[in-house]
Structures are given as C-alpha cells and as structure tokens.
Amino acid sequence: MRCRADLLLLVIAVSRAAQTLFQSPDEGWQVYTSAQAPDGKCLCTAVIPVQGSCSRDLRSRQLRQLMEKVQNISQSMEVLDLRTYRDLQYVRNTESLMKGLDSRLKVATESQKNLNAKSFQELKDKMTELVPLIPVLDQYKSDTRTIVQLKEEVRNLSGSLLQIQEEMGAYDYEELQQRVLVLEARLHACMQKLGCGKLTGVSNPITIRASGSRFGSWMTDTMAPSSDSRVWYMDGYYKGRRVLEYRTLNDFIMGQNFVQHLLPHPWAGTGHVVFNGSLYYNKYQSNIVVKYHFRSRSVVVQRSLNTAGYNNTFPYSWGGFSDIDFMVDENGLWAVYTTNQNAGNIVISRMDPITLEILRSWDTGYPKRSAGESFIICGTLYVTNSHLAGAKIYFAYYTNTSTYEYTDIPFHNQYSHISMLDYNPRERVLYTWNNGHQVIYNVTLFHVIKTSGEL
Ligand SMILES: *[C@@H]1O[C@H](CO)[C@@H](O)[C@H](O)[C@H]1NC(C)=O
Ligand SMILES: *[C@@H]1O[C@H](CO)[C@@H](O)[C@H](O)[C@H]1NC(C)=O
Ligand SMILES: *[C@@H]1O[C@H](CO)[C@@H](O)[C@H](O)[C@H]1NC(C)=O
Ligand SMILES: *[C@@H]1O[C@H](CO)[C@@H](O)[C@H](O)[C@H]1NC(C)=O
Ligand SMILES: *[C@@H]1O[C@H](CO)[C@@H](O)[C@H](O)[C@H]1NC(C)=O
Ligand SMILES: *[C@@H]1O[C@H](CO)[C@@H](O)[C@H](O)[C@H]1NC(C)=O
C-alpha cells in the first residue's frame, strides 16, 4: 500500500541536475530534487511521512469501523426498544383476558358438572385469543437477553473507542509534531544546500540600462513571486525622496510605465533595500532606519540603529553617506554599518523586518572605510576592496561560524565606479549601480551536496 500524508513543494531558483538529497526509509520520509523545471528552476520535493501516514490511516479506518458498529448497535437497540414497548402493551392488554381465563379455569376445575358444552367452547375461544401471546412472550424474553448483551457490547465498544481516540490524540500531537519539526529542518537544509554555498565566481556584467547620476540604487523585491518583476529606482545618494516603481523589468529597461513614491523623509546613501513590499532605508543625517510600506504609502516603523555612525562618519570608500547599508539574503534582512565602539570595523546585524530591532550582531574586524561595497549571500558577507577599476572581492565573513577569510574573486568593474552592490537571493544575481549604469552579474556558488550513503 502506498500512502502520502503530505506533499510539500519548494521551488528554489537554482540550476542543478536531479539529485536525491536525503532518503531515509527507516524514518519514512524522503527529500529529493527533481530535474530542472522548464523555467530553469530546481524543484525540491519532500514526501512525508510515508510510514506514519500509513499507520495513521489504519487507525483512522479502525476507528471509523468501530463507530459504524456502534451506530449499527444503537440502531438495533432502538428497534428492539420499540418492539418491546409494543409487546409490553399487548401483554398488558391481554392481562385482564388472562385473569378472566384464570377464574374460569378455577371454576371449571372446582365443578366439572357446571362445565357444559357452551362454557367449554367459550374457554377454548379465550385460549385461542391468547395463543399469539406465546411467541410474543418468547420474543420478549429473547429480546431482553439481546438487549442485555447489546448493552454490554456497546459499553465494550465505547471503551475501545475512547482508548483509540486517546492513542490517536497522543499520536497526532507528539509524533506528528515531531515529524513536522524534522521535516522543517530537512527542508531548510535542503534549501540551504541547494540555493546556498560559498561564492567562487562572478560572471561578466550585463548592463540593463544606462540612466541617472553617478550614484544611486535599484532593486526588485526579493520576497515577491518571480512573476512580479517590479523595479524600484532611487537616483542619487542624499536628500532624495523620489522612488520610482516600474511595472516590470522590461518597463524599467524601456524607461516606461512607472509610478512615483514620495518618501516623507529624505534618504542617505544607496544602501536601501525593498523587502516584502516595504522599502528599508536610512533617514538623511541620522542613524534612524525607516520602513516605508509602498501599498499604504506610509512609514510603518522607524528606529534608531544603536550607536551606528552616520552622516559620512563611516561610509564605504566612495563616501556618499553610505554609513548604513541594508541587504537581504536567504535568511532575511541585514544591516551593515559600524560604530565608534567597533573602531570603524564593519558590523553585521540581523534585523527583525517588522520591528527593525537588532536580533544579533557580528564584528567582522574589517575597516569599513577600506571597503568598496559589501553584500551578503547565505549569511556570508563579501567585501570588495575598492569601488574603482581593479576591485575584487577581497574578504568574506561567515556569520554561521563567526570566522573570516581573505578571498581573491575578481569581477569586471566595467564603468569604474560602483556605488551600490547587492545580492538578490530570488534571482541569484548581483545588482549594481556603476557610474550611471544599472548592471547585473551572475554568481557561482559552490556547495557540496551530502547524501546519506554512496556518493
Ligand atoms: C452496519 O450495518 C450495515 C447495514 O446493515 C452493514 O453493511 C455494515 O457492515 C454494518 N457495520 C458493522 C461494522 O457491523
Ligand atoms: C466485553 O468485554 C469483556 C471483557 O473484555 C468480554 O469478556 C465480553 O465478552 C465482551 N462482551 C461483548 C459483548 O463483546
Ligand atoms: C558556513 O557558510 C559557508 C558559506 O555560506 C559554507 O560554505 C560553510 O560550509 C558553512 N559552515 C558551516 C559550519 O555550516
Ligand atoms: C510579508 O508580509 C506579509 C504581509 O504583508 C506577512 O504576512 C509576512 O509574514 C511577511 N513576510 C516576511 C518574511 O516578513
Ligand atoms: C552632517 O555633516 C555635515 C557636514 O558634512 C554637517 O554640516 C551637519 O551638521 C552634520 N549633521 C549632523 C546631524 O550631524
Ligand atoms: C545568468 O545565467 C543565466 C542562465 O545561465 C543567463 O540566462 C543570464 O543571461 C546570465 N546573466 C548574467 C548577468 O550573466
């Protein structure tokens, strides 16, 4: 018998051949990736929990049968009750008849002489009237026995029903909860392994558009479904308030079909990010971080980023009030900045995207002013050593292990002045603003897929 409890489908934008990631027949679940989908995406599919679902179905079936049986029994009991009631009425009605017959029989036994032919005939008639009572009484007696037996059976069944229900309840709550947790962890691992890895290369640049000033930023919403290719465009690095929203990437390329959002507070730098329908940016001349919700056209929350330098105190090498840099990776929202306490070295903070509170921070030890730009892929911060020609990805900080290493990953800085560099986990590309050009790069991420067994 085959049964599937659930089918979870997770789509990750990664181009890989079919590979089984995890297979554990003992535990009864499987996580595997399918072949590449037509749009180049890789499907990560989990089928769970085969074993558990089967035994659960079995229990459900047993329970259903028992309930049906109970229902059948209570139905027969109703029938019996009704019949017994009617029989009882009949018995009562014939009671007077029996009493009359009884007295006549007494008289007849006392004086045989008085028993003439007419009287004898009367007696016979009364007897005939009472004859149908015999099977009724028999039926009544057997029904009574049946009722007693049925009552016992129902009591027994109710007992086992309760027991099974208790078992099922315990099974559902603990066992399934456990399986869901395991599955969640496996899916997470699957996603991480598929979509994540160590940056080993950056492709040649593709220029999407040439527009705007030397400094600026542009992006898509990494949380939106891939059918939503709206582009947000913010030209300039200070005092700007005008955000353009293009309907599609193609409209952005053509410079058409856009709406304008006017922010209530001007921005500083180019470290803005659009995440889940909101813009996160640094308010000009402050270390206040602002979450602006596009649909409601309002600031949802703003908060001072603890002791973070601002107003060109700790910018990237190119200046431009780039003190506070927001970014989004597979894990969520991050802020990159520094403080006096950290002696100007880059600090990475995981941010709560709803409250803008800092969840956890890491001190990378890398001086922010010596960094051209930085971006995060899979929880690892990559730092370039310059914003000018000849720049390379020079430093990597792993938040998963709180360790760093120096790297040497070259990339082509085509227009020789990068003022924005962000990884987009949805598209797995780097978005850059290079001297009035909007440019993207593919990335190569190296990851080892571990399987339990061979390979
Ligand atoms: C209940 O009664 C129906 C109809 O009489 C019968 O088909 C079914 O098998 C019975 N179920 C059980 C569990 O006895
Ligand atoms: C009810 O359960 C008792 C004890 O398990 C058993 O002896 C008895 O035969 C059962 N009665 C019926 C009608 O199933
Ligand atoms: C930490 O992350 C990097 C890349 O993001 C990965 O290569 C490495 O295996 C991870 N280390 C651990 C211990 O998970
Ligand atoms: C995205 O926003 C929706 C509501 O607009 C919310 O329900 C959801 O939790 C958000 N997701 C994240 C990851 O913040
Ligand atoms: C920001 O820096 C400028 C000089 O670049 C200065 O005039 C201004 O007062 C500073 N503002 C704040 C809020 O520190
Ligand atoms: C990235 O790779 C995809 C698929 O291989 C390709 O279609 C696209 O043009 C590449 N983009 C860049 C910027 O190289």
Residue 16 has pLDDT above 50, yes or no: no
Residue 207 has pLDDT above 50, yes or no: yes
Ligand 4 centroid to residue 278 C-alpha, Å: 10
E strand intervals along 203-308: 206-210, 216-219, 231-235, 242-246, 258-262, 273-275, 278-282, 288-293, 298-304
Q: How far is CA 42 from CA 198, 316, 416, 433, 434, in A?
A: 19, 36, 35, 29, 31
Which residue's alpha carbon is nearest to atom 3 within ligand 1?
72
Question: In the chain, what is the straight-line distance between the N-terminal and C-terminal CA atoms, in Å?
Answer: 30
User: For residues 379 and 362, is the Cβ–Cβ distance under 8 A?
Assistant: no
Look up tokens 């290369």; give the residue. 201
- pLDDT average, residue stretch 272-277: 97
Residue 285 has pLDDT above 60, yes or no: yes
**How many residues are recorded in the chain?**
455
The predicted pLDDT at position 22 comes to: 35
Q: DSSP H helical segments within 223-293, as ranges?
A: 249-254
Ligand 4 atom nearest 353 alpha carbon: 14
Instruction: Decide the pairing of beta strands 358-367 and 392-398.
Output: unpaired
Residue 59 has pLDDT above 50, yes or no: yes
Q: What is the pLDDT of residues 342-357, one digit of tens each?
A: 999 999 999 999 999 9
The H or E element containing residue 188 is: helix 177-195
**Any idea what DSSP says for residue 73?**
H
Residue 424 has pLDDT above 50, yes or no: yes
Residue 410 — φ and ψ, nearest 5°?
A: -80, 155
More confident: 48 or 146: 146
93 HSE (CA, 13 A, CB side):
11
The predicted pLDDT at position 161 comes to: 63
Out of 73, 149, 152, 162, mutate this one to test ligand 2's pocket (max ligand atoms within 8 Å of CB): namely 152
Residue 71 burial class via C-beta count within 10 angstroms: exposed 0-12, middle 13-18, buried 19 and up:
exposed
- pLDDT average, residue stretch 148-176: 64
Rounded CA gap, 245 and 250, in Å? 12
Contacts of residue 349, defined as CB under 8 A and 6 or more positions apart, other chains included, come to 305, 334, 335, 336, 337, 358, 359, 360, 361, 362
User: For residues 214 and 433, is the Cβ–Cβ distance under 8 A?
Assistant: no
Q: What is the pLDDT of residues 99-117, one digit of tens each?
A: 677 777 777 667 666 666 7
Ligand 3 centroid to residue 404 C-alpha, Å: 11
Ligand 4 centroid to residue 359 C-alpha, Å: 17
Ligand 3 centroid to residue 187 C-alpha, Å: 17
Residue 328 burial class via C-beta count within 10 angstroms: exposed 0-12, middle 13-18, buried 19 and up:
buried
Ligand 1 centroid to residue 297 C-alpha, Å: 63
Tokens of 273: 């990010």
- pLDDT average, residue stretch 235-262: 97
pLDDT averaged over the chain? 77
Out of 76, 145, 156, 162, mutate this one to test ligand 2's pocket (max ligand atoms within 8 Å of CB): namely 156
Contacts of residue 327, defined as CB under 8 A and 6 or more positions apart, other chains included, come to 271, 273, 333, 334, 335, 336, 374, 375, 376, 422, 423
Which residue's alpha carbon is nearest to atom 11 within ligand 6?
442
More confident: 435 or 117: 435
The least confident of 37-51, 192-206, 239-253, 343-357 is 37-51
Ligand 5 centroid to residue 344 C-alpha, Å: 18
Question: Which residues, judged by CB distance below 6 Å to any ligand atom, belong to the binding site of ligand 1?
Answer: 65, 68-69, 72
The least confident of 39-48, 51-60, 88-97 is 39-48
Ligand 5 atom nearest 286 alpha carbon: 13
- pLDDT average, residue stretch 82-97: 66
User: For residues 386 and 317, is the Cβ–Cβ distance under 8 A?
Assistant: yes
More confident: 295 or 92: 295
Q: Is 313 in the pocket of ligand 5 (CB under 6 A)?
A: no
Ligand nearest to the CA of 66: 1
User: For residues 13 and 225, is the Cβ–Cβ distance under 8 A?
Assistant: no
Q: Is 19 in the pocket of ligand 5 (CB under 6 A)?
A: no
Angle between helices 133-170 and 50-110 (to 10 degrees): 160
Residue 139 has pLDDT above 80, yes or no: no
Chain center to CA of 195: 18
Ligand 5 atom nearest 311 alpha carbon: 1
Out of 193, 331, 398, mutate this one to test ligand 3's pocket (max ligand atoms within 8 Å of CB): namely 398
Ligand 6 centroid to residue 206 C-alpha, Å: 9
The predicted pLDDT at position 225 comes to: 83
Which residue's alpha carbon is nearest to atom 7 within ligand 4?
276
- pLDDT average, residue stretch 241-248: 98
Q: Return the CA Rg of the chain.
A: 41
The predicted pLDDT at position 7 comes to: 25
DSSP 378-389: TTEEEEES-SST
Chain center to CA of 245: 29
Out of 226, 432, 442, mutate this one to test ligand 6's pocket (max ligand atoms within 8 Å of CB): namely 442
% of the chain residues with pLDDT over 70: 60
Ligand 5 centroid to residue 211 C-alpha, Å: 29
Q: Is 261 in the pocket of ligand 3 (CB under 6 A)?
A: no
Ligand 4 centroid to residue 7 C-alpha, Å: 23
User: For residues 221 and 428, is the Cβ–Cβ distance under 8 A?
Assistant: no
Ligand 3 centroid to residue 407 C-alpha, Å: 15
- pLDDT average, residue stretch 425-442: 94
Ligand 5 atom nearest 310 alpha carbon: 14
Ligand 3 centroid to residue 100 C-alpha, Å: 103
